[in-house]
């Protein structure tokens, strides 16, 4: 993050990035996640050059506190009021690195034996997860609703592996080995002997709940039941089973074969050995795991989407254009995309749905979805996938 000599850019930075930094402090302050996990989540989940707490250390807690206080005086928005811990560090002249020193735990270990992996789903995310585990040497049973869906997963993985062969990252024998570890099925009973099931089906609580009742009946005792949900309450999925201690979140980021981050989400019922095993398993398959609890947005969405929503509100205020905002954020914050570019990639419908969930969960007036975001979705201008969003791609 740079200190700009351009007052307009600096104002955009203050309006959009400072509240994001403040949210991150409050997340840490509430013991929701460690400082290293918050920073890693935003680096690996969003491609940011640095995590928010590292940025505060570099800018100086006092500088961030003072700029937020000025923003709060202007807006009266509770979200802009400097977090108590930020005030404390600024007063004491300390950093988050010093605050967190000695608080990190040892490397997680596989407490439970994981030899065979099950995946439910045949979409892009499910196919990617199947490939990740198979490439890491695990036998994978995946279940789809029909033979055509099952064949589609194999075809998708074959195509992905062929690209790796073309790039010299894999040879033909290794590709054959990976494909040889795949077993497709159309009946969930095929999951009877797996050690962990990763569910990647539609984001619909009723459909997921029915699946978890089924998995509870089918899977062997001790099998871990994991969900890739980014928005559903995992506690409710656990309650649909007789083994809530075995239910956990494994929120892979899309595309799973490329993105390094997995948010590992525990409920109050999740057993410690299940949590540690999943964290260790993520490391074994080459992922960066971060830990958090079961609440809306987890780490990444909870920090990312209010910032995107704020960008739309800034546009609505007339203080800056889309291009000015996008350019300022890339230049000042070093983010790989400006907020409007990212909204169009994510999809305005997805962004609105997540923002509504955060508003409902936290009941913060400042989290209310921006009117223009609501309007874009109502018009069907969802972003790149429809050819038009905040920008026109036709």
Mean pLDDT of 162-167: 94
Mean pLDDT of 113-125: 96
Query: If pLDDT is split at 50, 70 and 90, which confidence band does 145 have?
Result: very high
* Residue 230 a catalytic site member: yes
Domain ranges of the chain: 7-102+299-386, 116-293
Which member of 230, 246, 309, 351 is catalytic? 230
Residue 237 to residue 290: CA distance in whole angstroms: 21
Which residues have C-beta within 8 Å of that of residue 18, sequence separation ≥ 6? Answer: 64, 67, 68, 71, 80
pLDDT (0 to 100) of residue 45: 96
Which tens digits make up the pLDDT trace of 170-211? 999 999 999 999 999 999 999 999 999 999 999 899 999 999
pLDDT over 90, % of the chain: 94
Mean pLDDT of 144-170: 95
Mean pLDDT of 342-354: 95
Query: If pLDDT is split at 50, 70 and 90, which confidence band does 226 have?
Result: very high
* Residue 363 a catalytic site member: no
- Please, are residues 244 and 225 in contact by the beta-carbon 8 Å criterion? no
Which residues have C-beta within 8 Å of that of residue 314, sequence separation ≥ 6? Answer: 12, 15, 16, 320, 325
- Please, are residues 256 and 230 in contact by the beta-carbon 8 Å criterion? no
Query: If pLDDT is split at 50, 70 and 90, which confidence band does 266 have?
Result: very high
- Please, are residues 356 and 305 in contact by the beta-carbon 8 Å criterion? no
Instruction: Provide the H-helix boundaries in 181-284.
Output: 205-218, 234-239, 272-284
Mean pLDDT of 52-67: 97
Query: If pLDDT is split at 50, 70 and 90, which confidence band does 103 have?
Result: low
Which member of 99, 263, 276, 357 is catalytic? 263
Mean pLDDT of 44-67: 96
Residue 66 to residue 292: CA distance in whole angstroms: 29
Mean pLDDT of 114-118: 98
Query: If pLDDT is split at 50, 70 and 90, which confidence band does 104 have?
Result: low
**How far are the Cα atoms of 82, 236, 295, 318 from residue 29, in angstroms, in the given order?**
12, 26, 16, 34
pLDDT (0 to 100) of residue 1: 56
* Residue 301 a catalytic site member: yes
pLDDT (0 to 100) of residue 5: 59
> For residue 370, how many C-alpha atoms fall within 13 Å in the half-sphere facing its CB?
20
Q: Is 71 left (phi over 0), alpha (psi -120 to 50) or beta?
A: alpha
Tokens 């890739």 belong to residue = 228
* Residue 276 a catalytic site member: no
User: Hey, how many other C-beta atoms are within 10 angstroms of the C-beta on 73?
Assistant: 10
Of the options 3.40.50.261, 1.10.1040.50, 3.40.50.1010, 3.30.413.10, the CATH number for the domain spanning 7-102+299-386: 1.10.1040.50
**How far are the Cα atoms of 321, 367, 388, 393 from residue 309, in angstroms, in the given order?**
15, 8, 18, 21
Give the architecture (CATH level 2) of 116-293.
3-Layer(aba) Sandwich (3.40)
Mean pLDDT of 99-105: 71
pLDDT (0 to 100) of residue 3: 52
Q: What is the dihedral of CA 368, 373, 374, 377, to 10 degrees?
A: -150
Q: Indicate if 116-293 has the same CATH topology as 7-102+299-386.
A: no
Mean pLDDT of 113-135: 97
Q: Helix/strand/coil (H, E, C) string of 123-150?
A: CHHHHHHHHHHHHCCCEEEEECCCHHHH
Which member of 246, 251, 275, 276 is catalytic? 251
Residues in the chain: 394
Q: What is the dihedral of CA 341, 344, 345, 350, to 10 degrees?
A: 130
Query: If pLDDT is split at 50, 70 and 90, which confidence band does 231 have?
Result: confident
Which member of 22, 301, 348, 351 is catalytic? 301
Q: Does the pTM of the predicted model rise above 0.85? A: yes
Does residue 262 surpass a pLDDT of 80? yes
pLDDT (0 to 100) of residue 62: 97
CA-nearest of 376, 375, 379, 381 to 394 is: 381
């Amino acid at each position: 993050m740079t200190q700009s000599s351009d007052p307009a850019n600096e104002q955009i930075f203050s309006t959009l990035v400072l509240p994001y930094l403040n949210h991150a402090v409050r997340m840490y302050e509430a013991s929701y996640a460690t400082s290293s996990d918050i920073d890693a989540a935003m680096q690996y989940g969003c491609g940011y050059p640095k995590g928010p707490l590292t940025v505060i250390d570099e800018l100086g807690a006092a500088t961030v506190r003072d700029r937020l206080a000025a923003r709060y005086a202007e807006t009266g928005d509770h979200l802009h009021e400097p977090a108590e811990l930020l005030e404390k560090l600024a007063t004491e002249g300390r950093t988050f690195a010093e605050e967190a020193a000695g608080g990190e735990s040892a490397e997680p270990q596989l407490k439970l034996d994981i030899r065979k992996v099950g995946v439910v789903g045949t979409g892009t995310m499910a196919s990617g997860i199947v490939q990740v585990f198979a490439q890491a040497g695990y036998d994978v049973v995946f279940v789809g609703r029909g033979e055509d869906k099952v064949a589609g997963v194999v075809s998708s993985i074959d195509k992905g592996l062929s690209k790796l062969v073309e790039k010299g990252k894999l040879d033909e024998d290794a590709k054959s080995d990976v494909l040889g570890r795949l077993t497709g099925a159309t009946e969930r009973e095929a999951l009877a002997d797996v050690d962990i099931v990763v569910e990647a089906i539609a984001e619909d609580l009723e459909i997921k709940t029915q699946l978890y009742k089924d998995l509870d009946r089918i899977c062997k005792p001790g099998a871990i039941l994991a969900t890739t949900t980014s928005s559903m309450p995992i506690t409710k999925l656990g309650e649909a089973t007789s083994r809530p201690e075995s239910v956990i979140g494994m929120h892979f980021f899309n595309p799973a074969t490329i993105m390094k981050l997995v948010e590992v989400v525990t409920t109050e019922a999740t057993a410690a050995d299940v949590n540690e095993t999943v964290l260790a398993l993520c490391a074994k398959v080459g992922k960066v795991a971060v830990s958090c609890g079961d609440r809306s947005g987890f780490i990444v969405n909870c920090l990312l989407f209010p910032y995107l929503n704020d960008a739309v509100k800034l546009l609505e205020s007339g203080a800056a254009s889309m291009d000015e905002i996008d350019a300022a954020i890339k230049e000042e914050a070093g983010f790989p995309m400006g907020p409007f570019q990212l909204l169009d990639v994510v999809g305005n419908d997805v962004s609105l749905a997540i923002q509504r969930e955060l508003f409902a969960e936290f009941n913060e007036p400042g989290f209310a979805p921006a009117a223009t975001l609501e309007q874009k979705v109502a018009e069907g201008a969802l972003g790149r996938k429809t050819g038009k969003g905040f920008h026109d791609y036709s």
